[in-house]
Amino acid sequence: MSTSPRVPPHAPGDKGLVHEDVAYDRSDVRPGSVLAFLLYLALGLAVAFLSAWGCLRLIESRTARFDAPASPLRQGIEKQRPPEPRLQGVIGHANDPQQDLREMRSHTEKDLSSFGWVDENQGIARIPIEEAMKLIVAKGLGRQSQPQQPKPSPKAVGKK
Protein backbone atom coordinates (compact mmCIF):
# COMPACT_ATOMS: atom_id res chain seq x y z
CA MET A 1 0.00 0.00 0.00
CA SER A 2 0.99 3.57 -0.45
CA THR A 3 2.12 5.83 2.37
CA SER A 4 0.41 8.93 0.95
CA PRO A 5 -2.50 10.41 2.93
CA ARG A 6 -5.94 8.91 2.52
CA VAL A 7 -8.21 10.76 0.13
CA PRO A 8 -11.98 10.71 0.53
CA PRO A 9 -13.82 9.16 -2.44
CA HIS A 10 -15.52 12.41 -3.50
CA ALA A 11 -14.26 15.15 -5.79
CA PRO A 12 -12.65 18.22 -4.17
CA GLY A 13 -15.61 20.54 -4.87
CA ASP A 14 -18.20 17.91 -3.91
CA LYS A 15 -19.95 18.36 -0.57
CA GLY A 16 -20.92 14.68 -0.28
CA LEU A 17 -20.91 12.70 2.92
CA VAL A 18 -17.41 12.27 4.30
CA HIS A 19 -16.45 9.85 7.01
CA GLU A 20 -12.90 9.49 8.29
CA ASP A 21 -13.06 5.67 8.42
CA VAL A 22 -14.44 5.32 4.89
CA ALA A 23 -11.78 6.35 2.39
CA TYR A 24 -9.26 4.79 0.06
CA ASP A 25 -5.88 5.55 -1.34
CA ARG A 26 -6.20 6.37 -5.03
CA SER A 27 -2.66 5.20 -5.73
CA ASP A 28 -3.42 1.60 -4.63
CA VAL A 29 -5.60 0.58 -7.58
CA ARG A 30 -5.15 1.86 -11.09
CA PRO A 31 -8.16 1.23 -13.35
CA GLY A 32 -5.91 1.00 -16.39
CA SER A 33 -3.94 -1.92 -14.96
CA VAL A 34 -7.16 -3.75 -13.99
CA LEU A 35 -8.54 -3.27 -17.51
CA ALA A 36 -5.24 -4.41 -19.05
CA PHE A 37 -5.32 -7.56 -16.88
CA LEU A 38 -8.89 -8.31 -17.99
CA LEU A 39 -7.93 -7.76 -21.63
CA TYR A 40 -4.94 -10.11 -21.37
CA LEU A 41 -7.10 -12.66 -19.58
CA ALA A 42 -9.71 -12.52 -22.34
CA LEU A 43 -7.00 -12.86 -25.01
CA GLY A 44 -5.45 -15.81 -23.18
CA LEU A 45 -8.82 -17.56 -22.92
CA ALA A 46 -9.49 -16.95 -26.61
CA VAL A 47 -6.08 -18.39 -27.59
CA ALA A 48 -6.65 -21.44 -25.37
CA PHE A 49 -10.13 -22.00 -26.80
CA LEU A 50 -8.92 -21.69 -30.40
CA SER A 51 -5.99 -24.04 -29.71
CA ALA A 52 -8.29 -26.68 -28.20
CA TRP A 53 -10.76 -26.29 -31.08
CA GLY A 54 -7.93 -26.64 -33.64
CA CYS A 55 -6.64 -29.79 -31.92
CA LEU A 56 -10.13 -31.29 -31.93
CA ARG A 57 -10.56 -30.55 -35.66
CA LEU A 58 -7.15 -32.08 -36.41
CA ILE A 59 -7.94 -35.26 -34.47
CA GLU A 60 -11.35 -35.60 -36.13
CA SER A 61 -9.89 -35.15 -39.63
CA ARG A 62 -7.13 -37.71 -39.00
CA THR A 63 -9.65 -40.18 -37.56
CA ALA A 64 -11.91 -39.80 -40.57
CA ARG A 65 -8.98 -40.16 -42.98
CA PHE A 66 -7.32 -43.22 -41.42
CA ASP A 67 -10.36 -45.22 -40.26
CA ALA A 68 -11.21 -48.00 -42.64
CA PRO A 69 -14.74 -47.82 -44.06
CA ALA A 70 -17.22 -50.49 -43.01
CA SER A 71 -17.22 -53.64 -45.08
CA PRO A 72 -20.02 -53.80 -47.66
CA LEU A 73 -20.88 -57.23 -46.29
CA ARG A 74 -21.80 -55.67 -42.92
CA GLN A 75 -23.97 -52.90 -44.38
CA GLY A 76 -27.32 -54.66 -43.80
CA ILE A 77 -26.47 -56.26 -40.45
CA GLU A 78 -27.55 -54.48 -37.28
CA LYS A 79 -25.17 -54.13 -34.37
CA GLN A 80 -24.92 -57.13 -32.08
CA ARG A 81 -26.11 -56.75 -28.52
CA PRO A 82 -23.86 -57.86 -25.70
CA PRO A 83 -24.63 -61.26 -24.19
CA GLU A 84 -26.83 -61.62 -21.11
CA PRO A 85 -26.80 -60.48 -18.36
CA ARG A 86 -27.03 -56.96 -19.73
CA LEU A 87 -26.71 -53.87 -17.59
CA GLN A 88 -29.92 -52.25 -16.52
CA GLY A 89 -30.99 -49.15 -18.39
CA VAL A 90 -29.29 -50.00 -21.70
CA ILE A 91 -31.22 -50.18 -24.93
CA GLY A 92 -32.92 -53.53 -25.29
CA HIS A 93 -33.16 -54.20 -21.54
CA ALA A 94 -36.75 -54.82 -20.51
CA ASN A 95 -36.49 -53.87 -16.83
CA ASP A 96 -36.63 -50.39 -15.35
CA PRO A 97 -33.72 -49.89 -12.92
CA GLN A 98 -35.75 -47.64 -10.60
CA GLN A 99 -38.56 -50.17 -10.35
CA ASP A 100 -36.05 -52.96 -9.72
CA LEU A 101 -34.51 -50.93 -6.89
CA ARG A 102 -37.94 -50.26 -5.33
CA GLU A 103 -38.82 -53.97 -5.47
CA MET A 104 -35.47 -55.00 -3.96
CA ARG A 105 -35.83 -52.50 -1.09
CA SER A 106 -39.41 -53.57 -0.32
CA HIS A 107 -38.36 -57.24 -0.35
CA THR A 108 -35.42 -56.47 1.97
CA GLU A 109 -37.61 -54.40 4.31
CA LYS A 110 -40.13 -57.26 4.46
CA ASP A 111 -37.35 -59.73 5.34
CA LEU A 112 -35.95 -57.44 8.06
CA SER A 113 -39.31 -56.94 9.75
CA SER A 114 -40.75 -60.46 9.74
CA PHE A 115 -40.16 -63.92 11.18
CA GLY A 116 -39.10 -66.71 8.85
CA TRP A 117 -36.71 -69.53 8.15
CA VAL A 118 -33.36 -68.93 6.48
CA ASP A 119 -32.49 -72.64 6.54
CA GLU A 120 -35.07 -74.83 8.26
CA ASN A 121 -32.91 -78.00 8.11
CA GLN A 122 -30.09 -76.39 10.08
CA GLY A 123 -32.45 -74.45 12.35
CA ILE A 124 -31.42 -70.97 11.17
CA ALA A 125 -34.23 -68.43 11.40
CA ARG A 126 -34.60 -64.70 11.00
CA ILE A 127 -36.38 -62.39 13.40
CA PRO A 128 -37.30 -58.69 13.17
CA ILE A 129 -34.59 -56.24 14.16
CA GLU A 130 -36.62 -54.83 17.05
CA GLU A 131 -37.10 -58.31 18.53
CA ALA A 132 -33.39 -59.08 18.15
CA MET A 133 -32.45 -55.88 19.99
CA LYS A 134 -34.87 -56.72 22.83
CA LEU A 135 -33.31 -60.20 23.18
CA ILE A 136 -29.79 -58.76 23.25
CA VAL A 137 -30.73 -56.26 25.95
CA ALA A 138 -32.51 -58.94 27.99
CA LYS A 139 -29.58 -61.36 27.85
CA GLY A 140 -26.98 -58.67 28.41
CA LEU A 141 -24.93 -59.57 25.34
CA GLY A 142 -24.03 -55.93 24.85
CA ARG A 143 -21.70 -56.03 27.88
CA GLN A 144 -18.43 -57.88 27.60
CA SER A 145 -16.14 -58.26 30.55
CA GLN A 146 -12.43 -57.66 30.18
CA PRO A 147 -10.28 -60.72 30.86
CA GLN A 148 -8.49 -60.27 34.15
CA GLN A 149 -4.75 -60.23 33.87
CA PRO A 150 -2.68 -61.83 36.64
CA LYS A 151 -1.13 -59.38 39.05
CA PRO A 152 2.66 -59.43 38.99
CA SER A 153 4.27 -60.89 42.05
CA PRO A 154 6.41 -58.63 44.25
CA LYS A 155 9.46 -60.75 43.44
CA ALA A 156 9.06 -60.22 39.68
CA VAL A 157 8.67 -56.45 40.13
CA GLY A 158 11.81 -56.18 42.27
CA LYS A 159 14.04 -58.03 39.79
CA LYS A 160 13.83 -55.32 37.10
Give the number of domains in the chain.
2
Q: Evaluate whether residue 8 is within a structural domain.
A: no
Predicted TM-score of the model (pTM) = 0.33
Is residue 81 a part of any domain in this protein? no
pLDDT band per the 50, 70, 90 thresholds, residue 52: very high
Identify whether 16 is part of a domain.
no
Handedness of CA 71, 73, 77, 83 (dihedral sign): negative
Please indicate, yes or no, if residue 150 is contained in any of the structural domains. Answer: no
**Residue 133: inside a domain:** yes
pLDDT at residue 67 is higher than 90: no
When pLDDT is cut at 50, 70 and 90, the band that residue 24 belongs to is: low
Residue 34 lies inside a defined structural domain of this protein: yes
pLDDT average, residue stretch 22-49: 87
pLDDT of residue 144: 61
Q: What is the pLDDT of residue 42?
A: 98
pLDDT of residue 39: 98
> Would you say residue 58 lies in a domain?
yes
Structural domain harbouring 134: 105-139
Between 5 and 140, name the one with better pLDDT: 140
Spatial contact of 20 and 2, defined as CB atoms under 8 Å apart: no
